Amino acid sequence: MSTTTHAELFKRSASVSPLKFPHFHPLELHQQPYNSATMSKLEQALKDLKEAFDKYASTDEDKSTLSKKELSALLREELPEGVSKFFKVDELYKELDTDEDGIMDFRETVVFLIDFGIGL
């Protein structure tokens, strides 16, 4: 049985064109006016993912990406019983930066979190 790496998952997801919605891009879901009282669990989970990413990405000048320091804080504070026990941040960051541009964007982060969540 072969293991799919984060890089392979990202390349596969990036090759599929995003769904075409008339009013927003899927990664901009958090910008839509939602009433959390009427949101489904999935909508709330997506909103929470984006808000968590934004919280950590906003600690330096580039608010749309995670630096190694920001990724380390996210893992330490949001997944204290998970990822940080198994991975060194430098190694993980290199693997997660699937397009090798030196930064981690929201898509790369979500692919990792979903892949990690499958194992929970």
pLDDT, average across residues 97-118: 86
Q: What is the dihedral of CA 50, 83, 90, 66, to 10 degrees?
A: 10
What pLDDT was estimated at residue 99?
82
- 41-100 tens-digit pLDDT: 988 888 899 999 999 999 888 899 998 889 889 988 988 877 666 678 888 888 888 888
Highest mean pLDDT among 23-27, 50-54, 101-105, 108-112: 50-54
- 6-50 tens-digit pLDDT: 555 445 544 444 444 444 455 555 555 656 677 899 888 888 999
All domains in the chain, ordered by first residue = 63-120 (1.10.238.10)
What pLDDT was estimated at residue 117?
80
Q: Read off the pTM.
A: 0.66
What pLDDT was estimated at residue 9?
47
Residue 108 has pLDDT above 80, yes or no: yes
- Sign of the torsion angle spanned by Cα atoms 61, 107, 89, 98: negative
